[in-house]
Amino acid sequence: MFDVLSVLDDSRFDEFRRIRRELDESFDATPFARSIRSVASGTYPPVNVGSTPDELDVYVFAAGVDPKSLDISVQQNVLSISGERKPIHEEGAKYYRHERFDGAFRRVVTLPDDADPEQVDATYRDGVLRIAIKRRESARPRRIEVK
């Protein structure tokens, strides 16, 4: 479908685009189904959560964030990640569009009961924060040998 508003690159249409986005979200006019666990479009930083039998992996896509500014904590099966992405502004530049998120952020992920808050490892590489949380040994599947 041809979209006239996406072709025009004029700040006068930014408000129309914002209203259209809000209407699309209100009427769920998206090409894919939303889940009750999904977050609003544009939530920063985006997060992927996966698991293996041994650990949970949380990937936080936070390019341009100083890893030293990140605050990561686990309390009562809740993982909290907060930090700040500093704005980038050229002196004397006039911006017609500003799509890059900057400022303070906070994301919260509920962890399953078998997550071990004592065994958490966080690494930051190429703009991706990876948080690995081991599962409790007592909760891992154990093979029983028949005699």
Structural domains of the chain, ranges and CATH numbers in brackets:
38-139 (2.60.40.790)
Question: Phi and psi dihedrals of 126, rounded to 5?
Answer: 50, 40
Higher pLDDT, 102 or 49: 49
pTM above 0.75, yes or no: no
51: β partners: 56
In the chain, pLDDT over 70 holds for what percent of residues?
77
State the Cα–Cα distance between residues 118 and 74, nearest whole angstrom: 9
pLDDT (mean) for 100-126:
92
* pLDDT band per the 50, 70, 90 thresholds, residue 79: very high
